[in-house]
Structure 1
């Protein structure tokens, strides 16, 4: 199963989701992340807390969803697009995504928290924990036959 995580700036929640999925799904799911208006850099606390939790951060980058396709038509073609921020959920996806199913997770943004270092740490760890739980469900879904995956993904969003 191929999953594309989208967050407008592709610097925190979508990056966390990509890294966690890649590592925990161990090849069962291929994950990428992108944004409509990428910041161009991954939030430093995303890297810090992913590393602290034992996740590989090599190759994580803030990129535009347009960078996932080229003029030759070669692209990362997801089976499902998951928006992780409310702003991205309201945006029109690029045409090359066509009729690919789109789901919304609506994760809180720990990078927006103003507070102590410990409060920021807890916010990141909470978001990471939530993503880990959802990715475990995605792994179970990815192991199913293709015909059963879409229905199971839709049920996941309702849960």
Structure 2
């Protein structure tokens, strides 16, 4: 299964989702991330907390969804509300599209402890959601069967 995570700036939540997915299901899922208005750099705390969790970060970079035109995802997951409201490129084709509203830990205003908590909570939420996708990847579902399976499990409503 191929998954494309979309977030407007592709610097935090979509990056975390890409890295965690590739870490948890390297033989089942190929995950990439992109944005409509990429920041051009991954948020340093995203890299820090992924490194701390033992998740590889060496291939992560902020990029435009235009750079992934040949990727042909089976599933497109928007992770921020602004990306969910954007018109997705036509080249997503028949990809199933769902939305995972994730709070942006990089925007937490507060102490270091509050920021740390926000990043760890976001990472844990992504882990749990990815774990619900793994059985669907094992079944090699695509198109309408994938959409039906996501709806049956409430995954598209997360």
TM-score, normalised relative to structure 1: 0.93
Superposed, 1:138-153 pairs within 5 Å as 138-146=133-141, 148-153=145-150
Following superposition, the deviation at residue 150 of structure 1 comes to 2.4
Q: Please, which of 89, 95, 101 is the counterpart of residue 90 of structure 2?
A: 95
Residue aligned with 2:5, SS: strand
Alignment of 1:1-159 (within 5 A): 1-69=1-69, 75-146=70-141, 148-154=145-151, 155-158=154-157
| Residue pair 1:142, 1:149 contacting (<8 A) in 2 also | no
User: What's the offset of the Cα at 1:97?
Assistant: 1.1
Deviations 1:106-150 (A, max 9, x none): 000000001111110000000000000000001111112426432
Q: Contact between 1:6 and 1:33, CA under 8 Å: does it hold in 2?
A: yes
Q: Which runs of 4+ in 1 moved over 3 A?
A: none
1:27 Cα deviation after fit: 1.9
User: 1 CA distance for matches of 2:156 and 2:146?
Assistant: 13
Q: CA RMSD in A?
A: 1.2
Which TM-score applies when normalising by structure 2? 0.93
Per-residue deviation, residues 40-99 of structure 1 (Å, max 9, x unmatched): 000000000000011100110000000112xxxxx1010010000000000001121123
- Is the 8 Å Cα contact of residues 12 and 46 (structure 2) preserved in structure 1? yes
Aligned to 1:146, the other structure's residue is in SS state coil
Which moved further from structure 2: 142-151 or 117-126?
A: 142-151
Contact 2:6-2:35 within 8 A present in 1 as well: yes
Measure, in 2, the Cα distance between the counterparts of 1:37 and 1:124: 22
Q: Which residue of 2 is the match for residue 72 of structure 1?
A: none
Distance in 2 between residues matched to 1:144 and 1:15, nearest whole Å: 25
Answer whether contact 2:96 2:146 (CA < 8 A) is retained: no
